[in-house]
Structure 1
C-alpha cells in the first residue's frame, strides 16, 4: 500500500477471499438499506456517472434564537462505480454544507462543497446534572462520515473486491 493509496483511502481485501461476481457485490451494497444504517444506497442516475450512490443528509441542531438562529445541513454522497475487470469499486466522495438562517430556517446564507476522501466529524454536547448531583457531559448530536463509509467499505472488502478512492473522476 503506497502513499497515494493512503491518501485516497484505498483498501484491499484480505488474501484468500474469493471475489464475488459483480451482481452479488451490487446486491450486497444495496442490501445495506435493510440493516438500519443512517444512509441510503440506490442505483445512480445517468447524470451521476456512477453505478450506485450512497447518500446521507443530516440537519444539525439549530443554534441561536429568532432572527439570529442558524442551522447546518450536511449532505455526504459517495458515488460508486463497479469495475469488474479489476474487481474494484471506485469511489468519489462529495460533501455539501448549507447554512440556513432565520426563525424558521428558510434563507441559505452560505454554501460549501468539497470533493475527495475527507473525514468529517461533528459532535455536540450539553451538560446536565446526574442523580448524584454532579455535572456530566451528554452527547446530543453526532455526525461521523465513518458511520457511512465503513459499512460500504466492509461490504466491498468482504466480497473480495478492492475499495479504491479517487480524487477527480470515477
Structure 2
C-alpha cells in the first residue's frame, strides 16, 4: 500500500479472509441501515454512477455527506468516493475528510455559571468506518478514490 492509498483511506482484508460474492457484499452494506444510524444506505441511481450510496443529511448544520460506492467483483474491491456539501457557505468537497462539525449552545450549569454545551456533532467517520469495516469483513478491499468510480 502506497502513500496515495493511505491518503484516500484504502485498506484491504486480513490475509486468508474468504471473500464473499458481490451480491453478499451488497446485502451486507444495505444491512447497515437501521433505526440507530443517522444515515441511509440505498441503491444508487444511474445519474449517480454508483451501485450503492450512503447519505447523511444534517438539518441543523445544512450539511450533506454522501459516499458513492461501486462494486468491482473482478478485483474484489469497493471503490468509494466521499462528497460533502455545505449549504451555508455553498462549498463542495470531495475525498476523505476528517473535519468534525459541531454546534454549541450556552446553558446555566448546576452551579449557576454559564457553560457551553454541545448540541450537535457530525463526524464523517461515523458513516465511513462502518461501511469500510463491512467491506473488509466481507473479504474485499475498500479503495478510496478522488475522481472517478
- 1:133: how far off? 4.6
Structure 2 residue runs of 5 or longer lacking an equivalent are none
Q: Does 1:122 align with 2:111?
A: no
| Cα 1:38–1:23 shift into 2, 3 Å | same
For normalisation by structure 1, the TM-score amounts to 0.81
Moved more, 128-137 or 84-93: 128-137
Which structure has more strand as a fraction of its residues? 1
Task: State which structure, 1 or 2, has the greater radius of gyration over its C-alpha atoms.
Answer: 1
Q: How does 1:25-64 map to 2 (within 5 A)?
A: 25-34=25-34, 36-60=36-60
Match for residue 87 of structure 2 among 95, 98, 118: 98
Distance 1:74 1:42 in 2: 19
- 1:125: how far off? 2.7
Partner secondary structure for residue 80 of structure 1? strand
CA RMSD in angstroms, aligned pairs only: 1.6
For normalisation by structure 2, the TM-score amounts to 0.91
| Cα 1:95–1:134 shift into 2, 3 Å | same
In structure 2, the residue matched to 1:158 is: 137
Distance 1:97 1:133 in 2: 36
Partner secondary structure for residue 6 of structure 2? helix
Structure 1 residue runs of 5 or longer lacking an equivalent are 61-71, 100-109
1:121-149 deviation digits (Å, cap 9, x = unpaired)? 11123343433556554221101101110
